[in-house]
Structure 1
Amino acid sequence: MKTGGTFIIAAILSLSLQAQTPVAGDDGTVRATSSSLHKAGKELLVSIGIEVTRDFLPNESMTLIPVVSDSLEHRLELPPIYINSRKQHIIFLREAGKKEKEAEALQRKNGSRQTMHYLQSVPFESWMNHATLSLVEKSCGCGIPGEENFTCIARLHPQPTPIPQLVFLTPQVETSKIREEKGCAFIDFPVNVTAIYETYSNNTVELNKIIETINTIKNDTNVTITHISIHGYASPDGPYRLNEKLARERTQSVKEYVNQLYAFDGAHIRTDYTPEDWEGFEALLCDTTFQEKEAIIKTITSDIHPDSKERKLKKHFPAFYAFVLKHWFTLLRHSDYTIEYRVRPFTLAESRKVFTTNPKNLSLEEMFRLALASTPGSETYNQIFMTAVQLFPDNPTANLNAACIALMQRDVQTAATYLEKAPEVPETILAKGVLCFLKNNYEEAEYLFRQAQKAGLSQADNNLQLVLELK
């Protein structure tokens, strides 16, 4: 063992005093005034400050044994601390002191306040990452060790291990920021009619959906509408040929309605149609429970002609068909629309404002620059990266950077999810190493950090040092 105070290095494991329970007498106490554990390289340093104000009887002696332990079965007793009356101290120096050269001893001088500093180091073992420090008291009045008193004078709990270094990935510049808004309008038509009646059924509300979406985009001076797409659907009831005509002409009516309201500079409206929305029918069916659900799904997904599907449903599932005719088919007559637009680039100052009003208009690279202008680890910094992955959920760079934020917050579960979509680059290898590190899988963490190190990431050097000191 080593003693002394010559260890001047950055502590990787640091623990702070949680409680001090003094050993009290009628006229004073014996207590730990300060205690700490530090991992210094391959050593664990134990430091304890002791204050004595209690007077001792002539034959009285107290032994305090520092104990390092974890919540499992590991327990390590360190060289003891002796506090002796004058008579007992003479006995200690003559007998015990020669055998226990690393023990610390104090001769009590009654009527005064005395302090002593205890410092020991022991080889570090992996279980000590979660170690606590306690003092076990043994006391007697005759120089002969008495029964152990396990009253804990000082107990220490570890602070979290530092997060290894991470590297965020810079997104590519988006040369042309193309965005889109989508919606669905359930415009109702009288039977076999293809013209739009604005006041018919709930058409005023449904047509306003399209108008409000277009207006929101047109009123944004930062964007330019490039084109609009309208896709009309008819329901599966009735002859397929008639439904094809209705879907085509009703979609054209929606296009003409929009063209009457707006003049788009350079933009055009594209249309498409689906005569019968069997896919929508299947989706509704999958979300519900019917007694013959599997047989119905088999029918509607078969390759037979749509009119034959309808006839089989009427014949074999009449109650079901009557239900969907009344409740579902109106939902399968809809017009889906997409407004595509181009967004101009923004300066850093502009990006800050746009992020609070309409972050969708920012590119991933613009949000990255905005994050770099914030304090790392701050609420704003984290929010920008997490907003980026929400707006670009399938972008590998956004997922890697979001994983880094989650790792900085020790959220290993969320980080693992984002890393599944991260790109195959050294920065991802480094982040996966940090994930293993936080899960206490040091062997895998070391392997990944070495891979990142070979790829040229200098941050891996620091991370390897952390792992090697904890193994």
Structure 2
Amino acid sequence: MKKIYLILISLIALLPVAAGNIVYPENVKYAFRAEKEGNTLHLNLDIVLDEMHLPTQGMVVFTPVIIAQDQKIYHLAPAVVTGSNRYKVLQRLLAYDNPVFEQSPQVLVKRKNSSSQTISLSYIIPNEEWMQGADLYVYGEASGCVNCGNVQDQQLVKNDIVPLQPVYVPVYTVSYIVPEVEVKERSETFVARINYEVGRYELLPNYKNNAAVLADVDALVKSLQNDRDLTITHRTVTGYASPDGNFDSNLLLSQNRAKSFMDYLQQKYRWDANITYEGRGEDWVGLREAVENASNLSQKHAIIAAIDNRSDIARRKQSLKALEKGSVYKTLLNEYFPSLRRNEFKVSYIARAFNVEEAREVIRTRPQLLSLNEMFLVANSYPKESKEFKEVFDIAVRMFPDSQISKINAAAMEIETGSAERAIERLIGVETPEAWNNLGVAYAQCQEVDLARQYFQRAIQAGNTQALHNLEQLNKK
């Protein structure tokens, strides 16, 4: 056995050396096919040798190589073509399991010079992501001949053997809710700061600046009465007092002042029905708001604490009077209490219905006269990419801040105009299938895939068909 092995090694050593290490024979042609099946690639390479002449001791190793765009390389099993004498030597070596090739060949064939001959190679390999857009080259290494062809590092056989898959762009559907048509019952409140003599409730038109205040009231009343878009249904006068003095006396005083103002309105405008009055006494809510908004008021936090923490009105007043030995209370009395002594005039009415063209104008000047349904129709009269489309939904949320429908529709608008984060903020606390669907789309746009899937599934369980479509789109991506 050892003698035979030594003889074979000697025979190989006597073969002529090639002119170069990496060479290609002239006139070799290739045909290549690739198919994807699931997670695998099926590659077929034909090497056409019809015009190649190989000496009896020559050999060419054809190695297909996949080279990715990032230069990652995948070597496939080679094909070995030899002359007749070289073929015999290799067969003997391989018969005794001698290591002849760095990579075991898929085929070892003998070249039949001056005849048609094609080598067919087949491979099944994993379809890995890095192979997308890769190219196939064939490396040829010749030996055992003086002139084996033009020296080349590699031969390109096929560009882009696994075409780059276009990134799937999902088409999500957001949920809008068409608001129901409604009878538009509205109300507006106006402040009338009428001056009264201390402890008195009679309305004196010429006292202090009452003439100017009543002129403003007159202009307001006439504008409401002449407004053909409104049908007034009720009027209410509410009186307030400041916290100085006795609590019970202030309650009665606020009631009497409200009644005197109501009597004035009835007499002047001949209203004999649909008007009522009430007195609410000391306006602690208004005082707290004024103090909180003050920029340089001494003991501001102590004042707020006294209002919040003293439910007993007498003790609350004592706490305020004790601050800085009464100086703080004096400031409140002179600068903050006067504005609390007032009447409020509330008008309830029904606004008429507007068509889209009318509503386009009204929403700019008096949006309070429109319903959510009318605003929705106005918004959809504009292109979705327009600033008007966005503005109308913003107005709807501002005018109907507690409406889930206005929040859901505004969130849908934010998604369609590229503000997914803002859409998520708008939907905080809204628990409906439409809100869950829109949250799913918003989170999908933010690349929060798990959250998107969770919200789509919640909406699907609640019967939202748009969410089913959106989940399919998400899964395709």
User: TM-score normalised by the shorter chain: which range applies?
Assistant: 0.5 to 0.7
How far residue 5 of structure 1 moved from its aligned partner, in angstroms, is 12
Q: Secondary structure at the match of 1:337?
A: strand
Partner amino acid, structure 2, of 1:121: P
Rounded to whole Å, the distance in 2 between the matches of 1:405 and 1:6 is: 44
How far residue 299 of structure 1 moved from its aligned partner, in angstroms, is 4.1
Which residue of the other structure, out of 57, 79, 96, is the alignment partner of 2:154?
96
Other-structure match for 1:403: 411
Rounded to whole Å, the distance in 1 between the matches of 2:394 and 2:162 is: 46
Rounded to whole Å, the distance in 2 between the matches of 1:410 and 1:329 is: 49
Other-structure match for 1:343: 351
Partner amino acid, structure 2, of 1:188: N
How far residue 382 of structure 1 moved from its aligned partner, in angstroms, is 3.1
Which residue of the other structure, out of 276, 281, 289, is the alignment partner of 1:270?
276
Rounded to whole Å, the distance in 1 between the matches of 2:455 and 2:245 is: 62
Which residue of the other structure, out of 406, 414, 434, is the alignment partner of 2:422?
414
Q: Does residue 171 of structure 1 match 2:179?
A: yes
How far residue 453 of structure 1 moved from its aligned partner, in angstroms, is 3.8
Rounded to whole Å, the distance in 1 between the matches of 2:212 and 2:39 is: 72
Other-structure match for 2:290: 284
Rounded to whole Å, the distance in 1 between the matches of 2:461 and 2:305 is: 55
Q: Which runs of 5+ in 1 are unaligned?
A: 8-40, 44-63, 69-73, 83-88, 105-117, 130-160
Aligned in 2, Cα 1:42/1:233: closer, same or farther, shift over 3 Å? farther
Other-structure match for 1:121: 163
Q: Does the CA contact (< 8 Å) of 2:170 and 2:476 recur in 1? A: no
Aligned in 2, Cα 1:284/1:456: closer, same or farther, shift over 3 Å? closer
Q: Does residue 215 of structure 1 match 2:257?
A: no
How far residue 347 of structure 1 moved from its aligned partner, in angstroms, is 3.9
Partner amino acid, structure 1, of 2:290: L
Q: Does the CA contact (< 8 Å) of 1:163 and 1:408 recur in 2? A: no
Which residue of the other structure, out of 456, 459, 464, is the alignment partner of 1:452?
459
Rounded to whole Å, the distance in 2 between the matches of 1:42 and 1:363 is: 56
Q: Does the CA contact (< 8 Å) of 1:225 and 1:267 recur in 2? A: no
Q: Does the CA contact (< 8 Å) of 1:229 and 1:338 recur in 2? A: yes
Aligned in 2, Cα 1:213/1:90: closer, same or farther, shift over 3 Å? farther
Matches of residues 256-405 of structure 1 in structure 2 within 5 Å?
A: 256-264=263-271, 267-288=273-294, 292-293=299-300, 295-301=302-308, 302-306=310-314, 309-315=316-322, 317-405=325-413
Rounded to whole Å, the distance in 2 between the matches of 1:457 and 1:385 is: 23
Q: Does the CA contact (< 8 Å) of 1:230 and 1:255 recur in 2? A: yes
How far residue 396 of structure 1 moved from its aligned partner, in angstroms, is 0.8
Rounded to whole Å, the distance in 2 between the matches of 1:42 and 1:251 is: 82
1:241-293: CA deviations, max 9, x gaps?
443343222212211222233244x8522211133223322333333466655
Q: Does the CA contact (< 8 Å) of 2:229 and 2:352 recur in 1? A: yes
1:294-337: CA deviations, max 9, x gaps?
5544544523354x544554355411112112211112211122
Q: Does the CA contact (< 8 Å) of 1:181 and 1:213 recur in 2? A: no
Rounded to whole Å, the distance in 1 between the matches of 2:303 and 2:342 is: 23
**Count, aligned residues:** 349
Aligned in 2, Cα 1:278/1:351: closer, same or farther, shift over 3 Å? closer
Q: Which runs of 5+ in 2 are unaligned?
A: 1-31, 41-66, 72-128, 138-148
- Superposition CA RMSD, Å: 3.8
- TM value normalised by structure 2: 0.62
Q: Does residue 236 of structure 1 match 2:247?
A: no
Q: Does the CA contact (< 8 Å) of 1:4 and 1:120 recur in 2? A: no
How far residue 78 of structure 1 moved from its aligned partner, in angstroms, is 5.3
Other-structure match for 1:193: 200
Q: Does residue 249 of structure 1 match 2:291?
A: no
Other-structure match for 2:6: none
Partner amino acid, structure 1, of 2:397: V
Aligned in 2, Cα 1:196/1:6: closer, same or farther, shift over 3 Å? farther
Q: Secondary structure at the match of 1:121?
A: coil
Rounded to whole Å, the distance in 2 between the matches of 1:253 and 1:220 is: 26
How far residue 401 of structure 1 moved from its aligned partner, in angstroms, is 0.4
- TM value normalised by structure 1: 0.63
Q: Does the CA contact (< 8 Å) of 1:236 and 1:329 recur in 2? A: yes
Other-structure match for 1:139: none
Matches of residues 48-197 of structure 1 in structure 2 within 5 Å?
A: 66-67=69-70, 79=134, 90-92=150-152, 95-97=153-155, 101-102=157-158, 104=159, 121-122=163-164, 164-174=172-182, 176-197=183-204
Q: Which has the larger radius of gyration?
A: 2
